[in-house]
Chain A
Amino acid sequence: MRGKDSGGREAVRPVTGLIPNWDEETIEEMLGEMGVGSVEELFRDVPELALLRESPDIGEGGDEVSVEAEAEKILGRNLGAWNLKCFMGGGSWDHYVPALVDEVSGKQEFYTAYTPYQPEISQGSLQALFEYQSLICELTGMEAANSSLYDWSTALGEAARMALRVTRRRVLVVPRSAHPERLEVLRTYVGPHAEIREINFDRSRGTVPLDRIEEAVDEDTAMVYLEYPNFFGVAEEPVEGAADAVHRAGGLMVVGVDPSALGVLRAPGEMGADIVVGEGQPLGLYMSYGGPYLGIFATRAEPRLIRQLPGRVIGMTRTADGRRGYVMTLQTREQHIRQERATSNITTNEALMAIRAAVYLALLGPSGMRTLGEKILANSHYLQRRISEIPGLSAPRFDSFHFKEFLVSAESVDWRAAVRRLVERGILIGPWVGRWFPELGDSVLIATTERHSKADLDALVAALGEVK
């Protein structure tokens, strides 16, 4: 407040239309009924030393019109996938979001609700989240799933912590072909108490050879992790072999997935995965400059695994009179009950993003997911072929099967500059992977999605030919 009125009280003005009782008359009436002299009196227990006389200056408030105008002005400085063709990859992709997904997640009953603590009045979100869990299980070939974690990277962090708990071991075997930021988050999550054994990828195939995994696995191994497809867009083929090796040694197989591939690629559950993590962003979520996203987390139904799940889990149950219903369950794993012995600290998750993914998967169904994968495959393979025809460029850099993204390499191109020159031609590619992999300084990541037509792909090829 700027100053006080004659009665020694804060001057009150209805400031925003958001606070219904904030006018002199209502405040007087309420204070009168309470027998309290002023609003300040309600803060009398705050030590004088800490109490501000005036609000810190964050500028003057605006009405809806002016705030919208200011936001549009600032955000108008961005360029992005609405006015450029986006061929970027690396953990976030410009997939198509069906309009129905926006429609459902825009329903106030879903987006303004809290975590369903009162199940009787929250059957809608509970069933939607149960269906999300069920759809994720079908897609990944697993049996149990939680109702979301923050993103793929934190889901990996939680999977590693879970593997350490379940096996009571301390070694994590991870591939260098995984997303570098995910491995950074993994390190943050497990701290100094676990040993991380990083296995290098084969320089010509871009995938981790099975014999290197077998060598790294021993009786201290808590988990082996592989991405499917990995950071370079290559489906790591040794998943089954790695699963055999780690199972023989008594550890867990953790597979990270891009779910947009699972309409055409085998489910990790069929290949021996014990835990599947992944990024739900392709399932009806926007890129949104990196978030909010959706951490997928699914396991086999063994009690030793599901009792150690991190995060909220929805279960089906019954009412006293036999009706089907849904509740949050296995809560004794969780922080509000188990405190420092909880399986995770997670509370707020990405529930609305999980509901979006449920709508997406329900809408697409088997034919949608299959044709999604097929269209991406056709686009990606066409693009690989056409780019490789450009003199001086090589695509894909690795001699392996790629799904939707791949590395393009060129000895004479400064990709950081080329990426910017392409922006001028209305095209986004990247990231340049030399920032994480010094030996791949000549390579940039290019991804395609179902949004791209042949004309878009041809435009990219033409532009690449010009800027290289």
Chain B
Amino acid sequence: MEGEFRQARWAAGRDILEPTLFELSHGDGYYRFRVEPELLEELGVDSPEELVPENLMRRDLRLPSLAAPEVARHFSRLAEMNYGVDSGSYWLGSCTMKYNPKLHERLAALPQVTRLHPYQPEETVQGALQIMFELAEMLAKLTGLPHYTLQPAAGAHGEFTGALMIRAYHEDRGESQRDEMLIPVSAHGSNFASAAMAGFKVVKIPSDERGRVDMAALREAVGERTAGMMLTNPNTLGLFETEILDIADLVHGAGGLIYYDGANLNAILGRVLLSDMGVDVAHLNLHKTFSAPHGSGGPGAGAVGVVDGLKDFLPVPLVRRGENGYYLDYSVPKTIGRVRAFYGNFGVVVKAWAYLKRLGSEGVRAVSGAAVLNANYVLSKVRRLRGVSIQYGAEDPCKHEFVISLKTLRRETGVRALDIAKRLLDLGVHPPTMYFPLIVEEALMIEPTESDSKRELDRYVAALERALREAYEDPDILKTAPRSTAVGRLDEVLAARKPILSWRMYERLQEQA
């Protein structure tokens, strides 16, 4: 690991990197919209204020006041203190931080995408409906699930949608006693929360010593109250659930349905159909697998696909193709209703459509091939490093990601996974996901994606190797890391104990002090 990384560190003062907008504020406003005087004349008023009833009039608006160049510089400085996929490697396990092709950004910014009102007559939005229809069709082919809704705005929103459909399905069959959702302990936290939001009691299924669903425990858990099982495959350890067909048989045999969390679809894209694994309903993350950017946290889009038996429960409306073109169909007989207004994050849908058009059949398989190849390549190097162990599935190939345990390192040096992650920041790469899944001690979850070249893979491994070596030789470097980022370690306990969630709350605390 050669060279040195240093993030921009603006410093307006000793203790402040970049002042807030409120501190930069001066004057009483620079930006103005011009009200045409003729309008006021016609209305017979001197000022538009006179149009507002006295009891509804705004008296006081304490927004900061800045001129345009100041706003531009402020946000540029903030951007320089942030790290994106285009900055460098971003191996955040479970997040699929692949490159976001720029063509897709350009397409999504076209006025033919951005300046469409959701209630325009259908004949004026045929292009938009066609993009939605074609994306749903391609997703159906890639997953074997024939029916899709693009309404959910994110993965967890898709989980909620799917869980509601499972509930509606059982109620429709007169089996509303099915109130239990089975979820592996290693699952994403949102699975538990989504199931609970949809009114299910969560039953946790342990992992076996191979890191897979414990089949004996599953046999024990299924029964008359089983509504379904939510799982992701490959699972959060990056391991394929080898007993998937038996799992599906068990759950189906008990009268339950299989929900598939698409967070890890990148590993099997073009290689496994979800329907062949017995999946009844699934969400796909258009912002992970299908290349739309993560936007510092969002927007995403969670397409939800289902088998024939569940199509009558999909949210409304659905995009369909008829004799006179594409249209929105509100006549879904047993629909769960709406999960959001309008039709979903269309701007994100366009990006996923462009991605699949670009890849084609051959390309999707190259994605999963390269993602799995890269992960196994890195695993083969990292597993040999001192302090690293593989807690589950050490004999198996991983899929698109893998999880290492640093419990040995911690025992031998006192250095934690957190410290290694912070040191990686100094070495110029974004650290892996930490402390997840919960069943692995001192976990680092590593997902290189298909976007990193071999040189970048080697560079990241070298950074990790260096950090681990330092743990044995000079652990203080790690415990005081990072030093090359805009700030050092932050006091998260203080943030939670005395929450300051707005400038108003900050000012009030200052007044009290």
Measured CB to CB, the closest approach of chain A to B475, in angstroms, equals 17
Per-residue contact bits, chain B 153-167, to A (CB 8 Å; 1 contact, 0 not): 111110110001000
Per-residue contact bits, chain B 481-509, to A (CB 8 Å; 1 contact, 0 not): 01001111111101110011111111000
A137, B61: Cβ atoms closer than 8 Å: no
Within 8 Å CB of B339, what residues of A?
Answer: 154, 185, 188
Within 8 Å CB of A78, what residues of B?
Answer: 112, 116, 124-128
Which partner residue on chain B sits nearest A239 by CB separation?
A: B56
A152, B341: Cβ atoms closer than 8 Å: yes
Indicate if A174 sits at the interface (CB-CB under 8 A): no
B362, A2: Cβ atoms closer than 8 Å: yes
Within 8 Å CB of A453, what residues of B?
Answer: 36
Per-residue contact bits, chain A 309-334, to B (CB 8 Å; 1 contact, 0 not): 00011111111111111110111101
Give me 10 A-to-B residue pairs in the complex whose CB atoms sit less than 8 angstroms apart, sorted by A's number.
A21-B453, A39-B372, A113-B84, A115-B296, A133-B502, A266-B56, A345-B157, A359-B71, A362-B75, A366-B62
A55, B365: Cβ atoms closer than 8 Å: yes
Alpha-carbon distance between A367 and B82 when the two chains are bound, in angstroms: 30
Per-residue contact bits, chain A 333-367, to B (CB 8 Å; 1 contact, 0 not): 01111111110111111111101001101111111
Which partner residue on chain A sits nearest B285 by CB separation?
A: A348
8 A Cβ contacts from B213-264 to A: 239-240, 242, 244-245
Within 8 Å CB of A329, what residues of B?
Answer: 492, 495-496, 499, 501
Within 8 Å CB of B362, what residues of A?
Answer: 1-2, 13, 15, 55, 60-61
Measured CB to CB, the closest approach of chain A to B219, in angstroms, equals 19
Which partner residue on chain B sits nearest A345 by CB separation?
A: B193
Which partner residue on chain A sits nearest B16 by CB separation?
A: A324
Indicate if A125 sits at the interface (CB-CB under 8 A): yes
User: How many chain A residues have a CB neighbour from B under 8 Å?
Assistant: 212
Alpha-carbon distance between A209 and B74 when the two chains are bound, in angstroms: 46
Measured CB to CB, the closest approach of chain A to B16, in angstroms, equals 5
Per-residue contact bits, chain A 110-127, to B (CB 8 Å; 1 contact, 0 not): 111111111111111101
8 A Cβ contacts from A4-42 to B: 10, 12-13, 15-16, 18-22, 26-27, 29-31, 33-36, 39, 41-42
8 A Cβ contacts from B358-380 to A: 358-367, 369-370, 372-374, 376-377, 380
Which partner residue on chain A sits nearest B353 by CB separation?
A: A71
Within 8 Å CB of A431, what residues of B?
Answer: 119
A367, B65: Cβ atoms closer than 8 Å: yes
Indicate if B92 sits at the interface (CB-CB under 8 A): yes
A323, B16: Cβ atoms closer than 8 Å: yes
Indicate if B333 sits at the interface (CB-CB under 8 A): no
A330, B499: Cβ atoms closer than 8 Å: yes
Measured CB to CB, the closest approach of chain A to B100, in angstroms, equals 6
Per-residue contact bits, chain A 43-71, to B (CB 8 Å; 1 contact, 0 not): 11111011110111111111110011011
Q: Which single member of A71, A75, A315, A340 contacts B196 (CB below 8 Å)?
A: A340
Measured CB to CB, the closest approach of chain A to B287, in angstroms, equals 7
User: How many chain B residues have a CB neighbour from A under 8 Å?
Assistant: 208
Indicate if A242 sits at the interface (CB-CB under 8 A): no
Within 8 Å CB of B130, what residues of A?
Answer: 74, 77
A385, B20: Cβ atoms closer than 8 Å: no
Supplied contacts A59-B361, A193-B199, 14 more A-B pairs, CB within 8 Å? A15-B359, A46-B272, A58-B141, A63-B358, A78-B125, A123-B82, A130-B501, A151-B341, A182-B341, A185-B337, A315-B500, A326-B490, A371-B35, A401-B52
B197, A19: Cβ atoms closer than 8 Å: no
B360, A52: Cβ atoms closer than 8 Å: no
Indicate if A372 sits at the interface (CB-CB under 8 A): yes
Indicate if A215 sits at the interface (CB-CB under 8 A): no
B450, A325: Cβ atoms closer than 8 Å: no
Q: Which single member of A237, A316, A450 contacts B495 (CB below 8 Å)?
A: A316
8 A Cβ contacts from A276-329 to B: 286-292, 301, 306, 312-327, 329
B190, A335: Cβ atoms closer than 8 Å: yes
B358, A349: Cβ atoms closer than 8 Å: no
Indicate if A197 sits at the interface (CB-CB under 8 A): no
Indicate if A257 sits at the interface (CB-CB under 8 A): no
B84, A108: Cβ atoms closer than 8 Å: yes
Within 8 Å CB of B489, what residues of A?
Answer: 120, 319-320
Q: Which single member of A125, A262, A315, A454 contacts B296 (CB below 8 Å)?
A: A125
B496, A330: Cβ atoms closer than 8 Å: yes
Q: Which single member of B20, B56, B87 contacts A109 (CB below 8 Å)?
A: B87
Which partner residue on chain A sits nearest B448 by CB separation?
A: A21
Q: Which single member of B115, B154, B370 contacts A347 (CB below 8 Å)?
A: B154
Within 8 Å CB of B397, what residues of A?
Answer: 36, 41-45
Indicate if B15 sits at the interface (CB-CB under 8 A): yes
Give the interface segment out of A96-104, A218-226, A247-255.
Answer: A96-104
Indicate if A163 sits at the interface (CB-CB under 8 A): no
Alpha-carbon distance between A306 and B100 when the two chains are bound, in angstroms: 35
A20, B491: Cβ atoms closer than 8 Å: no
B47, A374: Cβ atoms closer than 8 Å: yes
Indicate if A460 sits at the interface (CB-CB under 8 A): no
Measured CB to CB, the closest approach of chain B to A412, in angstroms, equals 21
Decide: A114 near B95, CB < 8 A? Known: A292-B153, A316-B506: yes
Within 8 Å CB of B59, what residues of A?
Answer: 266
Decide: A336 near B492, CB < 8 A? Known: A18-B358, A291-B299, A346-B156: no
Measured CB to CB, the closest approach of chain A to B395, in angstroms, equals 10
Per-residue contact bits, chain B 447-466, to A (CB 8 Å; 1 contact, 0 not): 00011111000000000000
| Residue with the greatest number of chain A CB neighbours at <10 A, chosen from B40, B53, B100, B118 | B118
Within 8 Å CB of A316, what residues of B?
Answer: 495, 500, 506
In the A-B complex, list the 6 residue pairs whose CB atoms are closest, starting with the nearest.
A367-B29, A61-B360, A290-B342, A352-B295, A351-B297, A124-B82
Alpha-carbon distance between A20 and B451 when the two chains are bound, in angstroms: 7
Within 8 Å CB of A182, what residues of B?
Answer: 341
Q: How many interface contacts (CB-CB < 8 Å) are there between A and B? A: 728
8 A Cβ contacts from A239-265 to B: 262-265
Alpha-carbon distance between A124 and B74 when the two chains are bound, in angstroms: 10
Measured CB to CB, the closest approach of chain B to A12, in angstroms, equals 8
Give the interface segment out of A87-95, A198-206, A391-399.
Answer: A87-95
B125, A314: Cβ atoms closer than 8 Å: no
Within 8 Å CB of B173, what residues of A?
Answer: none
B193, A335: Cβ atoms closer than 8 Å: yes
Within 8 Å CB of B298, what residues of A?
Answer: 148, 292, 348-353
Within 8 Å CB of A313, what residues of B?
Answer: 499, 501
B296, A76: Cβ atoms closer than 8 Å: no
Within 8 Å CB of B79, what residues of A?
Answer: 104, 107, 109-110, 124
B92, A21: Cβ atoms closer than 8 Å: no
A115, B297: Cβ atoms closer than 8 Å: yes
Measured CB to CB, the closest approach of chain A to B228, in angstroms, equals 15
Measured CB to CB, the closest approach of chain A to B71, in angstroms, equals 5
Within 8 Å CB of B31, what residues of A?
Answer: 363-365, 367-368, 371
Give the interface segment out of B103-111, B303-311, B407-415.
Answer: B103-111
Indicate if B178 sits at the interface (CB-CB under 8 A): no
Measured CB to CB, the closest approach of chain A to B501, in angstroms, equals 4
A150, B157: Cβ atoms closer than 8 Å: yes
Alpha-carbon distance between A91 and B99 when the two chains are bound, in angstroms: 33
Indicate if A425 sits at the interface (CB-CB under 8 A): no
Alpha-carbon distance between A92 and B83 when the two chains are bound, in angstroms: 32
Within 8 Å CB of A118, what residues of B?
Answer: 83, 421-422, 425, 430-431
A55, B361: Cβ atoms closer than 8 Å: yes
B82, A121: Cβ atoms closer than 8 Å: yes
Per-residue contact bits, chain B 39-79, to A (CB 8 Å; 1 contact, 0 not): 11011000111011101111101111110100110111111
Decide: A382 near B39, CB < 8 A? Known: A20-B451, A115-B296, A181-B341: yes
Alpha-carbon distance between A139 and B363 when the two chains are bound, in angstroms: 47
